[in-house]
Amino acid sequence: MARRLLLALAGIVVLVVLFLALIVLTDGARAGLLAWLTTLVVATAAALWLGRSRTWPSRLVPLLPVLVAAALTASVCIPTAPAARRYPPDLPFVATQHWKLATGSRIAVYHYPPATTGTRHHVPFVYLHGGPIRSISLLDHRFLQLLARQGYDVYAYEQAGGGRSDLLPMGQYTISRSVGDLAAFVDRLGKGKVDILGFSGGGVVLTQALATPRVAARLHRAIIAEPGPMDGPTAHITGHKGRASARGLAPATKGARSTHTPRYAVAFGLMRLGLLTPDTGLIGQAEGVNTFTAADLGSDTASAYCARDAHRIPVEDTEDNFSFSAAASLRVQETIKNSPSIAPPLSHSRTPAMLMVAECSSQVRQWATAVLANDPAIQRTQYMPGVGHHMWNGLDDNNTQAVAVISAFLQDMPAPLPNCPTRGEIPAFLRDHK
């Protein structure tokens, strides 16, 4: 009996592995049904062949592992989330505007007018969020409101495919499209040059924009905060990160996880391993966005905070507002990895710029130092103490510190923090693992 059970379990495992291999080979065609039916037919034929010498009732025994494997793998082919995009409801504290850009993207735009009292800054301020294809978190919205209270005319938009912005065909999610959307947004705004803050993935878009003269001409001042890799050569750089983050130390994020469902665990897992393409036939783009939750990003969220903050990480977003497109984000990242070096055109940048790096950054340090080394227009670098990748997080005086650094640069006032590292200090900065 034990031997038969072990053989049956081995058969089930072999069939599941065969099914997954066929999912990869067919790129999940027809929601995985092609792989499932092929596995079922092959397994049934093999089971009948193995039982050919038995009497009729016992011939069906080899089919039992096939039925069990078919039931297990069928769960990967059955959607549990709607196939049509469900957009987050509008926020109660800011109007959601929908702009159609010249590129064809239809994006969600948020405007925080400057405070009516105190100093008002007349150059519009634009925020490019990270992600790259996700909603702007409530934590970021609160920070933008703080900037508006300081007199800035603040605009932010969710990149195409993220948040309340319309989806694009998967093949159109590229870093060049993101840069084109930025230029089209500034043109649609129609207020001349803008000051711009690009955070994380938004920092990559901003860096590429600075290396594109026709787009850089629309920018007044640029702030690159905690950027990802700026191009293909930079994306392949390995190196150290900042001080210890809360990754692996923080309590598990509460809430449902899509990756606890076999269908989405397989889809997102194989996509992340590069075994399925972002436009896989296993799950549609809208279905993937609908099912992905904040809890699925738990470890990534923790990595954006210092280790000492592991047990007081703020809730960044609500379930209603959170939206993340894993497939589209991977697609954009792929186009960055495959892009040529932007170092030559970036070396001709003349847009005044500032670089912000966090003490407990979860980004590879060379991603930031590559920007600093190649952009001669970077006038100052601000090493932000006591914060992780998400530098304005509402803890202690972190938001106030970030606003002070940003305001000082935009108003061409002395920096509140030392200019560190300078270009000449990059080797020592990397050598000392700061």
Q: In the structure encoding, which two tokens stand for residue 162, read together?
A: 């993220």
- Distance between CA atoms of 264 and 78, rounded to whole angstroms? 10
Overall domain count for the chain: 2
Q: Write down the pLDDT at residue 58.
A: 66
Element (H, E) at 384: strand 378-388
Pairing outcome for strands 154-158 and 106-112: antiparallel
CA 151 to chain centre: 30
Q: In the block, which residue shows the tokens 């594109």?
A: 212
- Distance between CA atoms of 245 and 401, rounded to whole angstroms? 19
Q: Write down the pLDDT at residue 185.
A: 98
C-alpha separations of 28 from 66, 129, 332 in Å:
20, 31, 21
Would you say residue 352 lies in a domain?
A: yes
User: Quick one: 121 exposed, middle or buried, by C-beta within 10 A (0-12, 13-18, 19+)?
Assistant: middle
Would you say residue 364 lies in a domain?
A: yes
Would you say residue 82 lies in a domain?
A: no
Identify whether residues 380 and 298 lie together within a single domain. Answer: yes
Cβ neighbour number for residue 340 with a 10 Å cutoff: 9
Identify whether residues 322 and 425 lie together within a single domain. Answer: yes
Q: Write down the pLDDT at residue 97.
A: 97
Cβ neighbour number for residue 84 with a 10 Å cutoff: 9
Q: In the structure encoding, which two tokens stand for residue 14, read together?
A: 């072999």
Identify whether residues 335 and 299 lie together within a single domain. Answer: yes
Domain end marker among 11, 39, 74: 74
Tell me which residue range forms the domain holding 385: 97-431
C-alpha separations of 246 from 6, 269, 346, 359, 400 in Å:
42, 23, 34, 13, 22
CA 245 to chain centre: 18
Would you say residue 88 lies in a domain?
A: no
Identify whether residues 299 and 363 lie together within a single domain. Answer: yes
Identify whether residues 57 and 102 lie together within a single domain. Answer: no
Would you say residue 89 lies in a domain?
A: no
- Distance between CA atoms of 421 and 425, rounded to whole angstroms? 5
pLDDT by residue, tens only, the chain of 434 residues = 787 788 888 889 999 999 999 999 999 999 999 999 999 999 999 888 877 777 667 666 778 888 999 999 999 999 999 999 999 999 999 999 999 999 999 999 999 999 888 788 989 999 999 989 999 999 999 999 999 999 999 999 999 999 999 999 999 999 999 999 999 999 999 999 999 999 999 999 999 999 999 999 999 999 999 999 999 999 999 888 999 999 989 988 888 888 889 999 999 999 999 999 999 999 999 999 999 998 888 778 899 999 999 999 999 999 999 999 999 999 999 999 999 999 999 999 999 999 999 999 999 999 999 999 999 999 999 999 999 999 999 999 999 999 999 999 999 999 999 999 999 999 999 998 88
- Strand arrangement of the beta sheet that strand 97-100 belongs to: 97-100, 106-112, 154-158, 125-128, 194-199, 219-225, 353-360, 378-388
Cβ neighbour number for residue 312 with a 10 Å cutoff: 11
- Distance between CA atoms of 33 and 39, rounded to whole angstroms? 10
Identify whether residues 280 and 350 lie together within a single domain. Answer: yes
Q: Which positions ≥6 away from 412 have C-beta within 8 Å?
A: none
Identify whether residues 128 and 10 lie together within a single domain. Answer: no
Would you say residue 51 lies in a domain?
A: yes
38-92 pLDDT tens trace: 999 999 998 888 777 776 676 667 788 889 999 999 999 999 999 999 999 999 9
User: DSSP H helical segments within 153-231, as ranges?
Assistant: 175-189, 201-210, 213-216
Identify whether residues 368 and 279 lie together within a single domain. Answer: yes
In this structure, the chain runs to a length of 434
Would you say residue 254 lies in a domain?
A: yes
Cβ neighbour number for residue 116 with a 10 Å cutoff: 7
Nearest to 330 by CA among 282, 272, 387, 378: 272
Q: Supply the pTM of this predicted model.
A: 0.92
Identify whether residues 360 and 261 lie together within a single domain. Answer: yes
CA 68 to chain centre: 37
Q: Write down the pLDDT at residue 65.
A: 87
Q: In the block, which residue shows the tokens 């469902």?
A: 261
Backbone phi, psi, residue 258, to 5°: -65, -30
C-alpha separations of 157 from 279, 304, 310 in Å:
24, 22, 30
Write out the E strands in 76-153. 97-100, 106-112, 125-128
Element (H, E) at 343: helix 343-346
Name the CA radius of gyration of the chain, rounded.
Answer: 25
- Residues 221, 363, 320, 334, CA torsion sign: positive
Identify whether residues 289 and 341 lie together within a single domain. Answer: yes
- Distance between CA atoms of 81 and 359, rounded to whole angstroms? 39
Identify whether residues 314 and 197 lie together within a single domain. Answer: yes
Identify whether residues 313 and 266 lie together within a single domain. Answer: yes
CATH number of the domain residue 351 falls in: 3.40.50.1820
Would you say residue 85 lies in a domain?
A: no
- Distance between CA atoms of 271 and 249, rounded to whole angstroms? 26
Pairing outcome for strands 106-112 and 97-100: antiparallel
Q: Write down the pLDDT at residue 5.
A: 82
